[in-house]
Amino acid sequence: MEIVYIQKATYLKDYKYIRVIDPDTNLMVSVGENINKDTIISRGSISRMSYRIKVSDFASNFHKYVSVLHGEVIHKGDSIMNKGKKNIFSPVDGIIDLSHLSSGFILVKSYPEDIMNVSNINGIVSSISEEKDKVIINTSVLKIDLKYIFGSNIEAKFKYLCNEQGFLYLEDINTSAIGTIIYVGNLITMEIIKKSLAVGVVGIIGNGIEIRNNESIEDFINSIPLTVGVIDGFGSIENSFFYSILSKYNRFPAFIDQNNQAFIIPIDTPSEDSIPFEIKGINKGDKVQIFSFPYWGYTGTIESFNIEDQSVFVALDFGSKVNVQIEDIVGII
């Protein structure tokens, strides 16, 4: 009996890692350059926030009543438009931006901050976009394919949060996870998503996502600044393979990559690329993953197999032994 054996976590020596650059910063690298984790890719002084003030309703010819200059520093309460006793006052401190005045609004930008984009990874700069807003770095990575991604691309430090059985307590999602992508183990729930949002987590990775109210979960995720990646599917999925792999990379830089439908962790160069899959005969002791209910996504070890009815006995990683059809399993390299 033969089955497909797949590499659930693939090591790639030449992955094109995309770094998005803050606008209005100056690039500090060039194509072909070898960089390390401390290399500064770009730096500059930019305004992180802006306050939009609608002024088109102030008067029929509102342009001539503007009382500030482009680039002028103002304070909260200063007049920005004046017509006799009628005024519009700035609600915040900042710097005036009149570049959108013809569209009927004025921006008050926050004071500029010094910004540095640091590489955080080792590699070679392979290309730079024409707009100078993306730097593509060839580097070595661990790549885990995702079944579903809700949200946009996100890059942040990775934080491994679940315990050795793949479970997570809500109190484990705390201020130590601010600005990180967290791995929560067996099941992503609405409660986990809401707590993560409240704390300031930017991304969540888990084996499965709860089925109940799934449409409302998707709608909720798409309305918030948080990205969710699902490795295997719906429901609680006990898969010890990912616990042992991902626990090694706590605090590494990471990327939920919408374009490649994958979770990416840059690593030191592996000795060789992983074999993505191969077809071979099954043997006692082989690691497999089940794709039939009620054990969808569970991993275990083959104890025996029956050639006549094309079935195998699998000892699940968490103690149970189950009999499944060979067509419902894949081997794990």
Q: CA-CA distance, 297 to 234, in Å (whole number)?
A: 9
Contact 237, 208 (CB under 8 A): yes
Angle at 256 between CA 251 and CA 258, to 5 degrees: 170
Please, which contacts does 280-284 make with residues 24 or more away whose CB atoms are closer than 8 Å?
280/2, 280/3, 280/5, 280/331, 281/1, 281/2, 282/1, 282/2, 282/3, 282/312, 282/326, 282/331
Structure confidence at residue 274 (pLDDT):
66
Length of the chain: 333
* Beta carbons of 286 and 302 less than 8 angstroms apart: yes
- Is it the case that residue 265 has pLDDT exceeding 90? yes
Q: Are strands 262-266 and 134-145 parallel, antiparallel or unpaired?
A: antiparallel
Structure-token pair, residue 292:
């039939």
Q: Which of 261, 332, 256, 262 is nearest to 297 (CA)?
A: 332
Q: What is the pLDDT of residue 296?
A: 84
Phi first, then psi: give them for residue 157, nearest 5 degrees.
-65, 145
What is d(CA 121, CA 36) in angstroms, rounded to the nearest whole number?
6
Question: CA of 211: how far to CAs of 159, 162, 224, 235, in Å?
Answer: 25, 20, 20, 6
Q: For residue 84, is pLDDT > 70?
A: yes
- Give dist(CA 139, CA 216) in Å, integer: 38
pLDDT tens digits for range 273-324: 666 678 888 899 999 999 888 888 889 999 998 888 999 999 998 778 999 9
The pLDDT of residue 271 is above 70: no
Per-residue confidence band for 77, with pLDDT thresholds at 50, 70 and 90 = very high
**Residue that is written with structure tokens 């509102």 in the block:** 62
Gyration radius (Cα) of the chain, Å: 26
> Between β-strands 203-209 and 187-188, what pairing exists: parallel, antiparallel or unpaired?
parallel
Instruction: Summarize pLDDT for 45-66 with one digit per residue, the tens.
Output: 888 788 999 999 898 899 999 9
Q: Look at residue 270 and tell me whether its pLDDT is greater than 70.
A: no
Amino acid sitting at position 2 = E
* pLDDT, position 139: 92
Residue 284 pairs in a beta bridge with none
- Return the axis-axis angle of helices 214-221 and 190-199, rounded to nearest 10°: 20
